[in-house]
Structure 1
Amino acid sequence: MIGAIIFDMDGLLIDSEPLWRDALVEVFNGVGVSITPEQFQATMGMTTPEVVAYWCAQYASHSKSVEEIIQEVDSTAHRFIAERGVAREGAYEILEFFKEKKLPLALASSSTMHLIDIVVEKLAIRPYFQVLHSAEFELYGKPHPAVNISAAKKLGVGQHACLVFEDSWNGVLAAKAGSMKCVCVPDENLKGDARLVIADEVIPSLLKFDEVLWKKLNA
Structure 2
Amino acid sequence: MGKRHDESIRWLLNELNLNDVVTPEEYSHQYDAILIEMFKKSPAMPGAERLVRHLIQKGIPVALCTGSCSRTFPTKLDNHRDWIELIKLQVLSGDDPEVKFGKPHPDPFLVTMRRFPKVPEHAGRVLVFEDSYNGVLSALEAGMQCVMVPERTIYDPETDTEFKSRVTLVLDSLEHFKPEDFGLPAYD
Instruction: State the TM bucket, normalised to the shorter chain.
Output: 0.7 to 0.9
The structure, 1 or 2, with the larger RCO (C-alpha pairs under 8 Å, 6+ apart) is 1
Q: 1:214, CA displacement in angstroms?
A: 2.4
Distance 1:125 1:169 in 2: 25
Q: Percent identity?
A: 23
Amino acid paired to 2:155: L
Match of 1:201 in 2: 169
- List, as ranges, runs of 4+ consecutive aligned residues in structure 1 with deviation greater than 6 Å: none
User: What's the CA shift string for 1:13-46, capped at 9, x where partnerless?
Assistant: xxxxxxxxxxxxxxxxxxxxxxxxxxxxxxx222
Distance 1:212 1:126 in 2: 23
2:11 matches 1:54: yes
2:178 matches 1:213: no
Distance 1:147 1:119 in 2: 19
Aligned residues: 172
Consecutive unaligned residues of structure 1, counting only runs of 5 or more, are 1-43
Q: Which moved more, 1:112-121 or 1:140-149?
A: 112-121
> Aligned to 1:129, which of 75, 81, 87?
87
Distance 2:30 2:111 in 1: 28
More helix by share: 1
Amino acid paired to 2:135: G
Question: Contact 2:36/2:76 (CA < 8 Å) preserved in 1?
Answer: no
- After TM superposition, list the pairs within 5 Å mapping 1:77-96 onto structure 2: 77-82=35-40, 84-96=41-53
2:102 matches 1:141: yes
Q: Normalized against structure 2, the TM-score is what?
A: 0.82
Q: 1:96, CA displacement in angstroms?
A: 2.3
> Aligned to 1:161, which of 94, 109, 125?
125
SS of 2:103's equivalent in the other structure is coil
Distance 2:84 2:16 in 1: 39
2:139 matches 1:182: no
SS of 1:133's equivalent in the other structure is strand
Q: Which moved more, 1:92-101 or 1:145-154?
A: 92-101
> Aligned to 1:173, which of 137, 142, 146?
137
Distance 2:85 2:2 in 1: 24
Amino acid paired to 1:190: Y
Structure 1 residues 127 and 58, CA gap change in structure 2 (3 angstroms): closer
Question: Contact 1:169/1:196 (CA < 8 Å) preserved in 2?
Answer: no
> Aligned to 1:70, which of 14, 17, 28?
28
Match of 1:26 in 2: none
Amino acid paired to 1:59: L
Structure 1 residues 115 and 108, CA gap change in structure 2 (3 angstroms): same
Q: 1:209, CA displacement in angstroms?
A: 0.5
Q: 1:121, CA displacement in angstroms?
A: 4.0
Match of 1:4 in 2: none
Distance 1:120 1:80 in 2: 12
Q: 1:193, CA displacement in angstroms?
A: 4.4
SS of 2:13's equivalent in the other structure is helix
